[in-house]
């Protein structure tokens, strides 16, 4: 009873603020009833308890048996999520003044096989194969938070080439099965079209096939990046390893050296102790770092790839971390600090999964998945905005 009273009081206290936020962010929806359902769903994600199902949201927010109408708004209604996301991104950019655009994948476990994009996949973080959807998000990240502003669902050829499966999930004709790295590139390109000020693209590419292609394309776009890479990632070494031969020979292109071996060849001038910006727990850290010049490998017949800086740190959290960046002017401390925003985003993803309904989409359609994820982003933006502005007010008082 006490909990119910508190929930009601919170709903009433936030009523005007949530309404204003929903009216602004969903103003592009053409019909008034769509905008009202968007506010209902947003309230459910913010204030609901437990699993954020459509039925539970309808019952908790409206206390009426209208789940079918809410389900239709999410899964069948043809409203465009892109304009909503661009408005969310504008809000987040003004709130956080982001230091980075963080790319992060998230798995969404599913029991059946009919929800769009579901496959049995090996998930490195789980150490096992699970039945799931795989979403890729672009987060605008600062020290206070990282907030997702754009999403892609990764689809395999099985979903694209099976006409019956494709039609059931309402997958548009323009959607293709892409390599994993292309989803990340598409997110960056689309957010760039929204006019959001550019920031370095950051992420963990240790398990991403085609990571070198993503970096090459971002360099062509003029985008800065900082990516964690595996220790066996192959690179063209800098002058400090010019004499190293890996056996590729003149017909195979330049000699390639694994990232860990590039660092082993570094002399004392490349080594330093750095103190870098706070992590998620707010503590400053000091670590030994090695920084050396390298290049990306390129296709035969082309000149050398983009000039990069490889930064390696001493063991953190049980492993040595290796970062690649095309910002060769950055100090190692700044590279490591930007890379640490991946951990900031991982914490926010856990929060999204636990409290904002990220895992709770019940529909099966491509359109519905994007609608749900857009509303999850809106709910998280509202929650973080309230927290950040509240903290600023307390600091000024």
pLDDT of residue 13: 43
Q: Do both 21 and 68 map to the same domain?
A: yes
Listed residues 55, 78, 101: the one ending a domain: 78
**Is 364 a member of any domain?**
no
For the chain, what is the domain count? 2
Contacts of residues 53-61 at CB distance under 8 Å and 24 or more positions apart, as own/partner, are 53/360, 53/362, 54/362, 60/7, 61/11
Task: Please say whether the beta carbons of 130 and 171 come within 8 A.
Answer: no
Out of 16-20, 139-143, 261-265, 368-372, which region has the weakest mean confidence (pLDDT)?
Answer: 261-265
Task: Please say whether the beta carbons of 104 and 342 come within 8 A.
Answer: yes
Q: Which two tokens stand for residue 312?
A: 């390696």
| CB environment 122-140: b (16+ within 10 A), e (fewer) | eeeeeeeeeebbbbbbbbb
pLDDT of residue 290: 86
**Is 274 a member of any domain?**
yes
Q: Do both 141 and 33 map to the same domain?
A: no
DSSP-derived secondary structure for 267-298: -GGGEEEEEE---TTS--EEEEEEEEEEE---
**Is 142 a member of any domain?**
yes
Listed residues 44, 78, 112: the one ending a domain: 78
Q: Do both 160 and 194 map to the same domain?
A: yes
Nearest CA to 77 out of 111, 31, 118 is that of 31
Q: Do both 50 and 5 map to the same domain?
A: yes
Q: Do both 15 and 115 map to the same domain?
A: no
Q: Do both 92 and 185 map to the same domain?
A: yes
Per-residue DSSP letter, 99? S
**Is 384 a member of any domain?**
no
Nearest CA to 306 out of 186, 208, 244, 222 is that of 222
Give residue-wise pLDDT tens across range 83-107: 999 999 999 999 999 999 999 999 9
Return d(Cα 181, Cα 188) in angstroms, integer: 11
Give residue-wise pLDDT tens across range 350-382: 999 999 999 999 888 999 999 999 999 999 999
**Is 358 a member of any domain?**
no
Task: Please say whether the beta carbons of 345 and 351 come within 8 A.
Answer: no
Q: Do both 116 and 229 map to the same domain?
A: yes
Per-residue DSSP letter, 303? -
Listed residues 27, 50, 78: the one ending a domain: 78
Q: Do both 144 and 69 map to the same domain?
A: no
Q: Which two tokens stand for residue 265?
A: 């060849």
Q: Which residues pair with 136 in a beta bridge?
A: 105, 152
Q: Which two tokens stand for residue 309?
A: 């800086």
Give residue-wise pLDDT tens across range 303-314: 567 889 999 887
Q: Do both 61 and 151 map to the same domain?
A: no
Q: Do both 70 and 98 map to the same domain?
A: no
Confidence class of residue 264 from pLDDT cuts 50, 70 and 90? confident
Range of the domain at 98: 82-348
Q: Which two tokens stand for residue 65?
A: 């048996």
Q: Do both 103 and 66 map to the same domain?
A: no
**Is 354 a member of any domain?**
no
CATH of the domain at 216: 3.90.350.10
Residue 220 in this model has a pLDDT that exceeds 80: yes
Q: Which residues pair with 135 in a beta bridge?
A: 106, 153
pLDDT of residue 58: 86
pLDDT of residue 324: 97
**Is 368 a member of any domain?**
no
Out of 60-74, 170-184, 217-231, 264-278, which region has the weakest mean confidence (pLDDT)?
Answer: 264-278
Whose structure tokens read 């605008």?
140
Q: Do both 95 and 198 map to the same domain?
A: yes
Residue ranges of alpha helices (H) inside the chain are 2-25, 32-47, 54-61, 67-75, 81-96, 157-161, 163-168, 180-193, 211-221, 259-264, 332-339, 341-355, 366-396
């Amino acid at each position: 009873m006490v909990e119910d009273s508190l929930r009601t009081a919170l709903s009433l206290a936030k009523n005007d603020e949530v309404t204003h936020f929903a009216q602004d962010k969903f103003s592009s929806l053409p019909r008034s009833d769509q905008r009202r359902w968007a506010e209902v769903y947003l309230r459910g994600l913010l204030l609901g308890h437990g699993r954020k199902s459509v039925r539970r949201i309808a019952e908790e927010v409206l206390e009426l048996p209208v789940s079918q109408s809410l389900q239709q708004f999410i899964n069948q209604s043809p409203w465009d999520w892109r304009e909503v996301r661009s408005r969310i991104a504008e809000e987040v950019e003004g709130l956080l003044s982001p230091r980075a655009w963080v790319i992060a994948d998230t798995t969404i476990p599913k029991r059946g096989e009919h929800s769009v994009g579901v496959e049995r996949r090996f998930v490195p973080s789980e150490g096992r194969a699970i039945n799931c959807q795989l979403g890729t998000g672009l987060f605008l990240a600062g020290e206070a938070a990282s907030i997702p502003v754009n999403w892609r669902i990764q689809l395999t050829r099985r979903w694209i080439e099976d006409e019956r499966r494709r039609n059931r999930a309402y997958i548009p004709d323009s959607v293709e099965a892409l390599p994993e790295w292309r989803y990340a590139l598409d997110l960056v390109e689309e957010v760039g079209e929204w006019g959001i000020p550019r920031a370095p693209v950051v992420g963990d590419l240790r398990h991403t096939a085609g990571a070198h292609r993503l970096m090459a394309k971002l360099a062509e776009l003029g985008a800065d990046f900082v990516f964690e890479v595996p220790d066996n990632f192959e690179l063209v070494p800098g002058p400090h390893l010019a004499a190293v031969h890996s056996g590729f020979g003149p017909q195979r292109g330049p000699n390639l050296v694994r990232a860990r071996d590039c660092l082993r060849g570094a002399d004392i001038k490349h080594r330093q102790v750095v103190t870098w910006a706070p992590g998620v727990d707010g503590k400053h850290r000091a670590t030994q770092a090695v920084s050396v010049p390298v290049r990306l490998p390129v296709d035969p017949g082309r000149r050398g790839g983009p000039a990069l800086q490889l930064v390696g740190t001493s063991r953190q959290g049980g492993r040595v971390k290796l970062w690649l960046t095309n910002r060769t002017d950055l100090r190692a401390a700044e590279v490591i600090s930007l890379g640490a925003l991946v951990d900031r985003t991982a914490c926010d993803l856990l929060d999204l999964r636990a409290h904002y309904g990220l895992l709770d989409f019940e529909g099966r359609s491509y359109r519905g998945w994007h609608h749900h994820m857009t509303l999850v982003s809106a709910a998280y933006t509202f929650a973080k905005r309230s927290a950040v502005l509240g903290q600023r007010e307390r600091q000024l008082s």
